[in-house]
Amino acid sequence: MTQPPPGGYPPPEQNPASGGPVPAGPPPGYTPPAGPPPGYAPPPGPPPGAAPAGPPPGAAPTGPPQGYAPPQGGYPPPPAGAPGYPPPPQGQPGYPPPGQPAYAGAPGGGAGSPQFDISKVTISDWVVMGAGLLLLIFSFFGWVSVSVAGLGGAYLGGGSLGAWNEYWWIATLLGLAVAVVVALRATMGQSLPQIKPLFLVIAAGLGFVVTLIALIEIFAKGGSSEGFSVGPGVGIWICLIVSLVQTYFVWMWGQKQPGWTLPKLPGPANL
């Protein structure tokens, strides 16, 4: 039992309005704090002090979570060669045989690697490629022939100039470029879609025109005077004929390609 303090308890506070003791409770005008609205229900949850649901930290998962649906058709097979999985059986569809690449175009083989195939080379291809080689060879032969004669017309000597002078070399390069493109198309299977057949015909035709202009120029500047004789050599005649043949066979090949708009030349269908 609690003992009263020395001197006793102080008298209760008197209300000056009524003369009686002040009642215990909130003073006049006091507004209690706002509480939860009527019908309010606290959210569900574990009671204070309850252990959280789920496996303890660090425990290994025992399976998929609730509500998880596996993918349609099951899980995909593991990649070939993965650790812990046996290799796929031989001859199973979808797997390449041993020693062959897994996809087309892989290093060492497949459709993406150009391969030399001489069986696809036609007669026109051989003629065009051979014409380019001949144009290169005879470009070093005499396009202009110069001879010196002494008194009485005796031959004293002479010389010649090839196609690698003035602008004449353009004809050789055009014919050689046409032969290279046709060789890539025919022997290596390179489609080269950016180079249209019409471009090859124009290049071969320009080579013939340049050679013809050079021949006319040599005739115009040539002649004999004071023992000197200047005229076309054998090289320019051969190059003129070869460039014309190359233009014809390139035209024959181009008119068989889709989208050809120029007139078709007569000739065998198997070229």
The Cα–Cα gap between 180 and 130 comes to 10
The total of other beta-carbon atoms located within 10 Å of residue 18's CB is 9
- The predicted model scores a pTM of 0.54
Distance of CA 57 to the CA centre of its chain: 51
Burial class (CB in 10 A: 0-12, 13-18, 19+), 193: exposed
The Cα–Cα gap between 143 and 239 comes to 9
pLDDT tens series, the chain, 271 aa: 566 667 666 666 666 666 666 666 666 676 766 666 667 666 666 666 666 566 666 666 666 666 666 666 666 666 665 566 566 555 555 555 555 554 444 444 444 555 666 777 888 889 999 999 999 999 998 898 887 765 555 555 677 888 898 899 999 999 999 999 988 887 776 667 778 888 899 999 999 999 999 999 988 887 666 667 788 889 999 999 999 999 999 988 888 877 777 788 887 766 6
Token pair, residue 106, equals: 């892989």
Is 242 in contact with 175 (CB distance < 8 Å)?
A: yes
The Cα–Cα gap between 100 and 81 comes to 16
